[in-house]
Amino acid sequence: MVLDHGSLRAARVSRGFSLRRLAAMVGLSPSYLSEVESGKKDPSPDVLLRLSLVLGLQAEQMVQSSPGEILALLMECKQINIEELSNKTGIPEDTLQRAASGRCALDPAWVATLARALDVDPCVFAGVHTVLSSRIRKLREQQHVTQSELAKKAGLSTALISAVENGRVRPSLASLRRISDALGVSPCEFLRTTTVAPPAGGLLERLLREVETLDEDQLRFVYDIVLLIKKHRADR
């Protein structure tokens, strides 16, 4: 799992803490905390624990699921093993095993291939949260449960539930399982799709191939643009 920097900032702002005040409370410099929130640095486990205690969150609420963890969950949901997935995608078994267990990063070049093989939206891997967020919101509303009620049942913060449903945060698998338990469904329900993955050579696959060589800062810039486009569309 990796730190969700946006989730950290959202928790701080929702509690009315300035950057300087929170930094003083956890024994950090404001400049270091600013770099953590902006994604330039990742805190040590000790710092993450101190931040979670001060913000009244569990540490798992400030991390997001990695693409490898999503892959492992999808394989569980689709009831497909490493050998079968390797045969369908041409990706070596050892490579898939290492990615699913978090021992290596999930190569962006594999995303479209894996999405087709698993019959899911590639966005599930790419860090765009519309599929996951819309499913959670739809299931919650179908059960006539408010965000605060869901948060209480799941043992999470209302701010986190809101951020997940608005697509600003991708929850950790631990948080996702808490949410699914609270709604009485399997985590697989959130990743189910009725949309066929785009064909090879489609626009999304071409986009994924273009961004696979970008560095972390460039990827974050592209991601921020996607969020701005989504916000503009939602505000219209």
pLDDT tens across 133-165, in order? 788 888 899 999 999 999 999 988 787 788 788
Q: For the residues 5-18, what does the mean pLDDT come to?
A: 80
pLDDT on residue 182: 93
Residues 106 and 214 grouped into a single domain: yes
Which pair of structure tokens corresponds to residue 156? 């999470």
Residues 56 and 16 grouped into a single domain: yes
Task: Inform me whether the pLDDT recorded for 118 exceeds 80.
Answer: yes
Task: Inform me whether the pLDDT recorded for 100 exceeds 90.
Answer: no
pLDDT on residue 198: 46
Total tally of structural domains belonging to the chain: 3
pLDDT on residue 88: 92
Residues 28 and 141 grouped into a single domain: no
CATH number of the domain enclosing 6? 1.10.260.40
Domain that holds residue 179: 130-191
Residues 172 and 154 grouped into a single domain: yes
Q: Which of 28, 49, 64 is the last residue of a domain?
A: 64
Residues 229 and 142 grouped into a single domain: no
Q: Which of 64, 87, 114 is the last residue of a domain?
A: 64
pLDDT level of residue 94 (50, 70, 90 thresholds): very high
Q: Which of 81-85, 97-101, 113-117, 187-191 has the lowest mean pLDDT?
A: 187-191
Residues 37 and 137 grouped into a single domain: no
The CB-based long-range contact list for 154-162 (8 Å cut-off, 24+ gap) reads 154/178, 154/179, 154/181, 154/182, 155/58, 156/58, 156/61, 157/11, 157/56, 157/57, 157/61, 159/10, 159/11, 159/14, 160/7, 160/11, 160/57, 160/61
Residues 17 and 32 grouped into a single domain: yes
Task: Inform me whether the pLDDT recorded for 107 exceeds 70.
Answer: yes
168 versus 78: which is more confidently predicted? 78
Q: Which of 149-158, 165-174, 179-188 has the lowest mean pLDDT?
A: 165-174
pTM for the predicted model, two decimal places: 0.53
Q: Which of 24-28, 29-33, 107-111 has the lowest mean pLDDT?
A: 107-111
Residues 50 and 140 grouped into a single domain: no
pLDDT on residue 72: 86
